[in-house]
Amino acid sequence: MVWRLYGGVFCPFYRHKTGSIRAWNAFAVLFGFLCASTSSLYFRPTFALWSYGGQACSFIDMRIDILTLFPKMFEGPFTESILRRAQEEKVIDIRIHDLRKFSIGKYKQVDDKPYGGGAGMVMMAEPIVQLIDEITVTPVETPYHGVSSSVVHKPHRIYLSPRGERLTQPKVEQISANHEWLLLLCGHYEGVDQRVIDGWIDEEISIGDYVLTGGELPAMVLVDAVARHIPGVLGKDESAAEESFSVKLDRKKEYPLYTRPEVFRDMKVPDVLLSGHHKEIEKWKKAQLR
């Protein structure tokens, strides 16, 4: 459960929205906005929770902004399968931003030689920080009084880097449970100016002890892993609760899976799975965990 400010009223809001929980969340939002209609001030949530588009309003559980030099790299992974459906159904909002937007000079410079010498180039601080500022400082017009103001939003800012904390299932679950807005910075070349990390990044995350050409692939991995734990992304929310490295499986690897036909090229499905004896099946599954 998280507390959100709606119309100047703090309301409890539940992340796992099923059945009566969805009804409560809708009531919490409507109650807050009704209070706002009688107030002299109008407060907006941290980011847009409503999507109009000619359809009924819907909640957005998580917004993810990705800063990259190569936006087209994300077209395939985020426009297919589960992540595409989650975006179409307004469960998750993924926004890709080109770091060259604030490049410097007529040659659109985004990198420079490192102080102290060394191979390769370093991404400059100015284009990165200007883009972060543009994303996180949003002008807002209050609909009741027509007054414009600047509201500073607070996404959780992550830099994908080999120096970061290694991404694990518990870390994925922590990010999903504790943050509703992520900002992911994809490095390139030799990395980014350290001053960006010191002043505008909350944590560094690595997907393994190896080096890639950039942070785009790690960003895709992080988004896919985190999205699985957002209610409504998977067909059944229970799917994420019982899989490899989950709490339910004691952080172990999942048991073997089988489907039709019962016999394939002389290889048969274990008899216990065909028995219909649920206690024995659960016992078998537990014994297969690694």
Nearest in space to 227 (alpha carbons), one of 83, 127, 60: 83
User: Where in the chain are the domains?
Assistant: 1-59, 60-251, 255-288
What is the full per-residue pLDDT of the chain (290 aa) written as tens digits?
Answer: 545 444 444 455 555 545 555 555 556 556 554 544 443 332 333 344 433 333 334 457 899 999 999 999 999 999 999 999 999 999 999 999 999 999 999 889 999 999 999 999 999 999 999 999 999 986 543 333 333 444 545 899 999 999 999 999 999 999 999 999 999 999 999 999 999 999 999 999 999 999 999 999 999 999 999 999 999 999 777 777 778 888 888 899 999 999 999 999 999 999 999 999 999 999 999 999 99
The residue whose two tokens read 């048991």 is 255
Pairing between strand 137-141 and 122-123?
Answer: unpaired
Q: What is the dihedral of CA 18, 24, 28, 30, to 10 degrees?
A: 90
Is-above-0.85 flag for pTM? no
The residues, ordered by sequence, that sit 6+ positions from 188 with a Cβ below 8 Å of its Cβ are 69, 70, 111, 123, 213, 214, 215
Total number of residues shown for the chain: 290
DSSP structure class, residue 240:
G
Q: Which fold has domain 60-251?
A: Alpha/beta knot (3.40.1280)
Count CB atoms within 10 A of the CB of residue 142: 14
- Nearest-angstrom CA–CA distance, 21 and 27: 10
255-288 homologous superfamily:
tRNA(m1g37)methyltransferase, domain 2 (1.10.1270.20)
